[in-house]
Structure 1
Amino acid sequence: MRFYDALWALILNLFVDLTASRCLLAPSDPEWPSTAIWSGLNETVGGKLLATIPIAASCHDRFAQYTSNLSTYNGSVCDALRSTWFYPETHLSSPSSPMAYSFTNNSCNPWVERDVPCTIGYDVAYTINATQISDLRHGLEFAKDHKIRLIIRNTGHDYLGKSTGAHALGLWTHQLKLLEVGTYNTTNYTGPAIRIGAGVLAIEAYRFASSHGLMVVGGNCPTVGIAGGYSQGGGHGPLISKYGMGADQVLEWDVLTADGNIVTANATSHSDLFWALRGGGGGTFGVVVSMTVKAFPDIYVSTASLTAVDNGTNTDIIYDFMKSWLRALPQIVDAGVHALWFIGPSGFSLVPAFAPGLHKDELDALLQVPIEEMKKAGLHYQYSSNESATFLSAYESLATGCNVSDYNIGGRLIPRSLVLSQTDRLVEAIRYIGSEAILSGVSFNARAGVISPDEVAVNPYFRKALFNAFIGVPINYTSWTANQATLDAITTDLLPALEVLTPHGGVYLNEADSRQPDFQSTFYRDHYDRLLQIKRLYDPDNIFYAKIAVGSEAWEQQLDKRLCSLE
């Protein structure tokens, strides 16, 4: 009996050793770097290593971080934080705070009782506030040498949990603010171009371009990091119907690869990596330090808004109008317009239609058909339009905070063919979703920027789409159980209402359900196998991991938050 007990103990120990050997380290492991070793890294990067204290620690009596237990409550600081919690600026100035609450695992929630301990949860353990390439390289080498999970973060403007992770070392690119204007000359493009550092926000790029009489393609939200997940994930925005997606504009990337080298990836050098980063997703191929993009001469822009409020008696009429609206959309976006509309319990609103290169009367004429339909239906509506001399003046008259911290989200690309052939069924699905959530239709013609959908790594389904159906359900901060139920409803109830109409369909990589089944096909379509080959070539040891990113199926996050290899 003792022999079998000893044999069983030996087998169990071998299993534990094998399991540990395939997992990245956690602070409870004896191999986890000591305080002295972390201090050494801090010295190496010039004092730029930051230990994570969640920004909501001030709302709790104590913060328990691994081995320490700090008294942290400060009522006035907590009140100030709560008053600005839903603004992206609150989180993008932090090296660790996820804007998307669900990826914190409720570990330091500012809205629960103060005696509930604040823990580090799924936030990174440490962050390097990188101001130069050497900081990024030192962080990369440290993570490799010590078997530490590595996370790339700029603003944290991230719906999918890519920019945070338990027990990780974060590389914070937020201070890499390079902006340079010049001329790019290749066989594929000759013209003005702007080099944009990894930490540059959309609004910063827009203002810099405008100061030189130019425009660049970027996001609707001013605080999105334009060279980060935005362009690497595809990138739609107000100029998409005229010039194409963010990824379509990239002329070259400067990238820190897993071997510690900086490479310039463009059409002639490292062309495979150049292709992959143009829509194949951020956080998995390398650390983008900067990108160079096409710039366009500044032009006048017209904008318009159209709103019909649901007063409780006109819901049927509003959804009947939706059929006319959807049928009118192709002509609108084909004229170069980006149309952002919402439907839900409060009614219908178009805020805005953004029309670069169109005068006000031309945009009014494009929207005349849906306006007339509202009149015929007897809907009370409000319409306004305006013309601005420059892109920036039009954008700044409309831009909002685009707060990630308000909603749990999901998304589905809706093809033009479905809108035109099955309008009634589509409106039925939209109405079902609209009774439970807010649905935003981000409408565009994404075909303007490429000759072929395979020219870049962006999900090719984008080129078929008329709009991205973006579903938002308010986050419940006071009940984690109810919040989880909301996430389940998005995956198993709300999105399936659209999925049944779009079999073998696709999603926008940056605005989708992070729990989407079969993410390889749905997020990347036919490009996935090629992307995975490029991932393995440039990152053979799987140093770069991000949730639902290319190659992420090689990893599993266990219940103790430890990240373990499945290979």
Structure 2
Amino acid sequence: MGWGGVYHCGPARPPPFPSPSLSLPTMRSLTLSLSFLALLGPAAAAANCKAIPSDPSFPAADVWKAALPNAKARGPQTIPTRPDYRLEAASVVDVKAAVDFARKHNVRLSLITSGHDGLARNDAPSGLLVGLEKLTGVRIETTFTPSPKGAAPISKPAPMPKLRKRATPQAVTFGAGMTTQAINDLIAKEGIYTNGAEHGEVSVAGGWAQCGGHGPLTPYVGLGVDDALEFQVVTADGQLRIANAVSEPDLFWALRGGCGSTFGVVVQATVRAHPSPKMAVTRFTLNATNPAGVAKATAVLHAAFPDLVKAGVGGYYNLFPGQLTGIFHTVGEQGTSAYSQKIWAPILAKLGGVDTVVKSTATATYAEFPSYKAYYDKTWGAADAHMKARRGLSKPDVYNWWSTPEPEAIPALARRHGPGEAAMLPVSGGRSDGASRLLDAAAVTDPRNADLIRKSMPGKGMLRGALLGGPGLHKPGPADTAVHPSWRSTIATLWVPGDGAGLAELAPKMGSYVNEGAWNASNWQDVFWGANYGRLEKVKEKVDPGFVFYVTPGVGADAWAGNGKGALCKAEGGQGRSGVVKGGFPPVGDNLNLKKGSKG
């Protein structure tokens, strides 16, 4: 699988994602020493590893029951693959009890909210899994001023005040279990919306916002981290801390880009609310007779991106072996069909002239919507109707939102976590193969686009892209939040199956969006966080020196590694701290669960 610290669990995996600072990763030949844990014997090894059920120190069933009476036991596992206990936290008290238990008994602690994580950081083969889906409630804040006291705790059901028009921005406070669609459905009647994912069932306060968080309106309002005003977080010492601009500012900075399950458990968040704009949508489905035609058409589309950003366009596009689909939008005064047609007519004409593209398909449809909710419900599906539409399975390999009237589900997307499916607990899907790259203006206009995209295209399946550039994304400074600094010059992001080497060649100085990145990315600290990684590591050392929270790839992950027997153990010095393999692969960790179809 690869190396982490002093452990070597198999042959070194090839570098799937070159560093922004390297055109091709340098492969180092390392002679790995025997683990010092093995040399010192089982007792010393146990003291330096998280406890697993086969260890004498692992808490007995009655200890679990006494401390966490609502935790459910999984039962004995012949081969450790999932946490031994699961607790659905219904309150901050539950979360604090879980953190205290994991720290006291030295067991693995993993967190899950809505379950959308291709890196499987929400999973572990032992210990305790804490579900945050029950931490719900939404409250509109007529004003918000950060303070050490923090926003009042959410009550369920939280009061929804009648608002008057005002010049000052409004904010929304919500529990960590709330999804973007659930929040916006509740507040839409007040003419406002909050930043969230394109996929409505993704929770806002979890990994989406803490890793950056892009969505449909990122070009206009920025990333999720840019809208975060406060996080209330239970840290490794079991304390509830208020993290905002005036209270725990370093922790607040780290939570805005350093990613979830790393610095603590976010239980409540407050974010900016924005006036709901009118919107216009442009859709097209371009057919080509071969993958090369799709790649060439995408190069033409990419070349138009800088001008589209200046014109106020954002949106999404998918590449299939014989098809390029797009769904783009404009907002506010530019949110009209007439404006969209004026912009897209010459681009579609160029797309229709690409070799092997079926010219008759180079057309678009246009639609206008009076509000963000109207746009979202029609474009991505209203919550209840959309859930029902996605229950059936008919095409297991492709999930094409753009060209089918009723979306068709694949197994990994068949479950939604919203109204009507409260009994369905989210589960980790395992690690997925794939990589993303942030693309700047130089990358999208590079003449090598067609060739490198063609090399990245699979025999079946798709590439997923998003046009995200705009004043909202580009205005914040590179160190204002903890996300990779190259976000602030990003025009688009593109996810590809496989190792992403072609994209890295296209954009060598850009990073990768962690939530869509490669779980085995080479030079991962630089690829995911760039110059911000050093400061993030210092915050990690301050708030969680004992690694109650561990994910890989994640800040400080090089201090621990899987021992190949289901346990997570301290690495000798750690990759980052020793400097021996700084810039190498992320530690394998103890979680080896793969998404079905992934190669590992």
Normalised by the size of structure 1, how large is the TM-score?
0.78
* C-alpha displacement of 1:12: 7.0
* C-alpha displacement of 1:120: 6.8
* C-alpha displacement of 1:243: 0.7
SS at match of 1:196: strand
Take 1:270 and 1:335, find their aligned partners in 2: how far apart are those partners? 39
1:451 alignment partner, one of 466, 470, 476: 476
Take 1:121 and 1:404, find their aligned partners in 2: how far apart are those partners? 24
Q: Report the equivalent of 2:462.
A: 438
* C-alpha displacement of 1:349: 0.8
Q: Pairwise mapping of residues 149-548 of structure 1 onto structure 2 (< 5 A)?
A: 149-186=108-145, 190-312=168-290, 315-350=291-326, 352-357=327-332, 358-377=335-354, 379-381=359-361, 382-399=363-380, 405=412, 408-420=433-445, 422=446, 424-436=447-459, 437-445=461-469, 447-449=471-473, 450-472=475-497, 490-491=498-499, 495-548=500-553
Alpha-carbon displacement from aligned partner over 1:91-142 (angstroms, at most 9, x marks no partner): xxxxxxxxxxxxxxxxxxxxxxxxxxxx674322111110100000111111
SS at match of 1:142: helix
Alpha-carbon displacement from aligned partner over 1:161-190 (angstroms, at most 9, x marks no partner): 110101120121111112100133449994
Contact 1:504 1:522 in 2 (8 A): no
Q: CA RMSD in A?
A: 2.2
* C-alpha displacement of 1:321: 2.9
1:26 and 2:48 matched: no
Contact 1:154 1:174 in 2 (8 A): yes
Q: Which runs of 5+ in 1 are unaligned?
A: 1-10, 53-64, 68-118, 473-489
Structure with the largest fraction of helix:
1
Q: Report the equivalent of 2:8.
A: none
Alpha-carbon displacement from aligned partner over 1:217-264 (angstroms, at most 9, x marks no partner): 100101101110000000011010111111100011111111111111
Take 1:36 and 1:553, find their aligned partners in 2: how far apart are those partners? 34
Normalised by the size of structure 2, how large is the TM-score?
0.74
* C-alpha displacement of 1:323: 2.8
- Matched length: 465
* C-alpha displacement of 1:466: 1.5
User: Measured at CA, do residues 282 and 336 of structure 1 come closer, stay the same or move farther in structure 2, by a change above 3 Å?
Assistant: farther
Q: Report the equivalent of 2:76.
A: 66
SS at match of 1:365: helix
User: Measured at CA, do residues 190 and 538 of structure 1 come closer, stay the same or move farther in structure 2, by a change above 3 Å?
Assistant: farther
What letter is aligned with 1:14? L
User: Measured at CA, do residues 13 and 498 of structure 1 come closer, stay the same or move farther in structure 2, by a change above 3 Å?
Assistant: closer
* C-alpha displacement of 1:308: 1.2
Alpha-carbon displacement from aligned partner over 1:177-228 (angstroms, at most 9, x marks no partner): 1210013344999420000210001110111221221011100101101110
SS at match of 1:223: coil
* C-alpha displacement of 1:376: 3.6
Alpha-carbon displacement from aligned partner over 1:255-292 (angstroms, at most 9, x marks no partner): 11111111111111111111111111111011101111
What letter is aligned with 2:298? M
* C-alpha displacement of 1:539: 1.1
SS at match of 2:448: helix
What letter is aligned with 2:330? A
User: Measured at CA, do residues 187 and 201 of structure 1 come closer, stay the same or move farther in structure 2, by a change above 3 Å?
Assistant: closer
* C-alpha displacement of 1:454: 1.3
1:550 and 2:525 matched: no
Contact 1:252 1:266 in 2 (8 A): yes
Q: Report the equivalent of 1:101.
A: none
Take 1:128 and 1:149, find their aligned partners in 2: how far apart are those partners? 13
What letter is aligned with 2:310? D
Q: Percent identity?
A: 27
SS at match of 1:340: strand
